[in-house]
């Protein structure tokens, strides 16, 4: 089953691909893991939809794009759905952007129904057909989350593809999003055998669950941290789906994410006022001043600067943050938030900014350059997640010498240890999922910040961590080979 020279051929099937399309960490992983796999000797290629604006960003980045002579075609809902294949090489990894009407709308729908789910099913089928256009046949497909979960389902239960054969790894980045929709007209339109709508396959409490189908159908399932791999087998974490995951646990493993350490690098980052490193932190002090200024605070403030870059959703612990708002001015710290998401969280943060202008500033929106200034200029990075499959933000923060303050859950637990633990850790942690737990950790962090020697040692430990993909890419490579 191996390609030329024994290299495993892997097609990465992803609906986000940073820096050209990204909503959260899935985009970062898709943008950096294939490059690490390539360096580890895997023949990896990527296929991703050309959502609106994606090809403009590819072109603006200076990459050369070529349109392949043939289009890729798939049959869905009794129609031929075809797409133009636009190829670019990103750090020696071939990436195929599929351009078609199906990918002309918003990237992710707020509401999933037959109409809004269709682009994701079409994308998976076009990924299965891509080998005809490329004259390159993958040994296996590597899919991610519910948005490419249709692919392993098709390999198992589609009228045509189940007889074609193919192997598939599915990575669970976030089990909270499962791709649940009504049975009809989806089952009929998708070409899945009607008998796959049963509780051992796609059916989930009377509806279709794409992620469940993928977990059952895939040859291997991975998730993005060892701790999350354990948590999702429990009812407390994953409710009804936990039984399915528990049953499939023999093919489940947790492989910790890395970050793109070339991109997230304070020594070369073009978005910060002055570059810096663990040895020379002058640039960090400059970024701090600049951030305080942008936030409307006194740039010479000596109070610890707590930053947070996040999707504004319940997962990230905003119920804890919002119920602690009134306590923040008494802590002796400044807070800067950057994020977008649920309107009720956006409104609450912006009202808090109006109420406490000397303590809190909220930047609404998704802003890549500004996020770099927060990572670089902060002293403490706040991430009190209710659950966290892996979390990249805390790793990025540590690389920029911003000490994370996190809840001990999922990948946060696998990457951050408490400063007061024996031997000294790289951040501050708390366990209970409530505002009191978070405030307890914040008070400790603020008190420790006053001790410059202690803080310098803590920050140095955080910056010394290895957050690269090197180790984890080899674990994926081994997994591919065992398949």
- Using alpha carbons only, give the angle 222, 224, 227 rounded to the nearest 5 degrees: 100
CA atoms of 326 and 360, how far apart (whole Å)? 11
Q: Say whether 285 sits in a helix, a strand or coil.
A: helix
Tell me how many residues contact ligand ADP (CB under 6 A). Answer: 18
Smallest gap from residue 238 Cβ to ligand ADP (A)? 16
Of these partners, ligand GLC, ligand ADP, none, which one is at the site of residue 99 (CB under 5 to 8 Å by kind)? none
CA atoms of 251 and 169, how far apart (whole Å)? 10
Of these partners, ligand ADP, ligand GLC, none, which one is at the site of residue 224 (CB under 5 to 8 Å by kind)? ligand GLC
Is the separation of the CB atoms in 414 and 424 below 8 Å? no
Positions 25 through 54 that interact with ligand GLC (CB under 6 A): 25-26, 29
Handedness of CA 137, 142, 147, 150 (dihedral sign): positive
Instruction: State yes or no: residue 173 binds ligand GLC (CB under 6 A).
Output: yes
Smallest gap from residue 252 Cβ to ligand GLC (A)? 15
Instruction: State yes or no: residue 393 binds ligand ADP (CB under 6 A).
Output: yes
Pairing label, strands 203-204, 207-209: antiparallel
Pick the binder of ligand ADP from 48, 196, 371, 402 (CB under 6 A). 371
Of these partners, ligand ADP, ligand GLC, none, which one is at the site of residue 33 (CB under 5 to 8 Å by kind)? none
CA atoms of 50 and 208, how far apart (whole Å)? 26
Of these partners, ligand GLC, ligand ADP, none, which one is at the site of residue 31 (CB under 5 to 8 Å by kind)? none
Which of 118-126, 212-220, 241-249, 388-396 is the region at the interface with ligand ADP (rule: CB under 6 A)? Answer: 388-396
Q: 190 vs 394, which CB is nearer to ligand ADP?
A: 394
Ordered alpha helix ranges (H), 191-306? 210-217, 226-231, 235-238, 241-247, 282-294
Instruction: State yes or no: residue 388 binds ligand GLC (CB under 6 A).
Output: yes
**Number of other residues whose CB lies within 10 A of the CB of residue 440:** 15
Calculate the CA 386 to chain-centre distance: 16
Smallest gap from residue 389 Cβ to ligand GLC (A)? 4
Peptide bond into 103 cis (omega under 30): no
Calculate the CA 442 to chain-centre distance: 26
Q: Which of 472, 466, 478 is nearest to 35 (CA)?
A: 472
Question: Which residue(s) pair with 332 in the sheet?
Answer: none
Mask 338-367, x = binds ligand ADP (CB under 6 A)? Answer: xxx-------------------------xx
Smallest gap from residue 224 Cβ to ligand ADP (A)? 8
Residue nearest to ligand GLC (CB): 25
Positions 11 through 50 that interact with ligand ADP (CB under 6 A): 24-26, 28
Instruction: State yes or no: residue 255 binds ligand GLC (CB under 6 A).
Output: no
Pairing label, strands 72-76, 203-204: unpaired
Pick the binder of ligand GLC from 257, 426, 429, 472 (CB under 6 A). 257
If you write DSSP's letter for every residue of 52-105 in order, what string do you get?
TTHHHHHHHTT---EE-SS-EEEEETTEEEEEEEEEEEETTEEEEEEESGGGSS
Pick the binder of ligand GLC from 9, 24, 161, 304 (CB under 6 A). 24
Q: Which of 53, 6, 54, 8 is nearest to 30 (CA)?
A: 54
Instruction: State yes or no: residue 174 binds ligand GLC (CB under 6 A).
Output: yes
Positions 206 through 225 that interact with ligand GLC (CB under 6 A): 224
Pairing label, strands 72-76, 140-144: unpaired
Q: Say whether 333 sits in a helix, a strand or coil.
A: coil
Smallest gap from residue 331 Cβ to ligand GLC (A)? 27
Of these partners, ligand GLC, ligand ADP, none, which one is at the site of residue 196 (CB under 5 to 8 Å by kind)? none
Of these partners, ligand GLC, ligand ADP, none, which one is at the site of residue 345 (CB under 5 to 8 Å by kind)? none
Pick the binder of ligand GLC from 47, 392, 403, 458 (CB under 6 A). 392
Instruction: State yes or no: residue 261 binds ligand ADP (CB under 6 A).
Output: no
**Number of other residues whose CB lies within 10 A of the CB of residue 185:** 13
Which of 11-19, 280-288, 383-391, 444-452 is the region at the interface with ligand GLC (rule: CB under 6 A)? Answer: 383-391
> Torsions phi, psi of 66, nearest 5?
-125, 140
Using CB under 6 A as the criterion, which residues of the chain lie in contact with ligand ADP when the complex forms?
24-26, 28, 309-311, 338-340, 366-368, 371, 390-393
Binding site for ligand GLC (CB under 6 A): 24-26, 29, 173-174, 224, 257, 388-392, 411
């Amino acid at each position: 089953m191996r390609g030329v020279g024994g290299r495993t051929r892997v097609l990465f099937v992803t609906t986000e691909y940073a820096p050209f399309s990204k909503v959260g960490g899935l985009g970062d992983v898709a943008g950096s893991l294939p490059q690490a796999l390539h360096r580890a000797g895997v023949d990896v290629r990527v296929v991703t939809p050309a959502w609106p604006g994606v090809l403009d960003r590819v072109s603006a980045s200076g990459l050369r794009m070529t349109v392949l002579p043939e289009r890729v075609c798939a049959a869905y809902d009794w129609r031929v759905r075809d797409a133009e294949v636009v190829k670019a090489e990103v750090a020696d990894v071939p990436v195929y952007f599929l351009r078609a009407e199906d990918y002309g709308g918003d990237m992710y729908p707020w509401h999933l129904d037959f109409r809004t789910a269709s682009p994701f099913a079409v994308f998976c089928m076009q990924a299965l057909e891509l080998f005809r256009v490329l004259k390159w046949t993958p040994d296996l497909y590597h899919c991610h989350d519910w948005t490419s979960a249709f692919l392993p389902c098709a390999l198992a239960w589609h009228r045509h593809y189940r007889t074609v054969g193919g192997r598939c790894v599915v990575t669970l980045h976030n089990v909270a999003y499962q791709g649940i929709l009504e049975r009809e007209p989806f089952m009929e339109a998708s070409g899945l055998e009607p008998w796959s709508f049963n509780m051992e396959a796609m059916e989930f409490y009377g509806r279709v669950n794409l992620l469940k189908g993928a977990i059952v159908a895939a040859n291997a399932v991975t998730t993005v941290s060892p701790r999350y791999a354990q948590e999702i087998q429990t009812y407390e974490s994953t409710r009804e789906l936990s039984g399915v995951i528990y049953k499939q646990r023999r093919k489940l493993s947790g492989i910790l994410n890395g970050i793109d350490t070339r991109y997230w690098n304070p020594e070369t980052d073009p978005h910060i006022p002055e570059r810096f490193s663990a040895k020379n932190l002058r640039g960090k002090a400059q970024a701090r001043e600049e951030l305080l200024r942008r936030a409307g605070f006194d740039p010479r403030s000596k109070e610890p600067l707590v930053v947070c870059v996040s999707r504004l959703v319940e997962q990230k612990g905003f119920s804890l943050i919002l119920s602690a708002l009134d306590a923040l001015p008494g802590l002796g710290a400044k807070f800067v938030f950057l994020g977008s998401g649920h309107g009720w969280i956006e409104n609450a943060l912006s009202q808090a900014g109006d109420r406490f202008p000397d303590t809190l500033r909220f930047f609404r929106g998704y802003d890549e350059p500004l996020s770099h200034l927060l990572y670089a200029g902060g002293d403490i990075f706040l991430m009190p997640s209710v659950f966290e499959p892996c979390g990249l933000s805390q790793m990025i923060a540590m690389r920029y010498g911003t000490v994370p303050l996190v809840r001990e859950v999922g990948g946060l637990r696998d990457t951050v240890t408490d400063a007061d633990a024996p031997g000294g850790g790289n951040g501050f942690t708390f366990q209970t999922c409530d505002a009191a737990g978070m405030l307890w950790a914040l008070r400790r962090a603020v008190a420790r910040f006053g001790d410059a020697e202690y803080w310098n040692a803590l920050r140095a430990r955080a910056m010394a961590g290895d957050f690269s993909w090197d180790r984890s890419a080899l674990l994926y490579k081994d997994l591919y080979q065992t398949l």
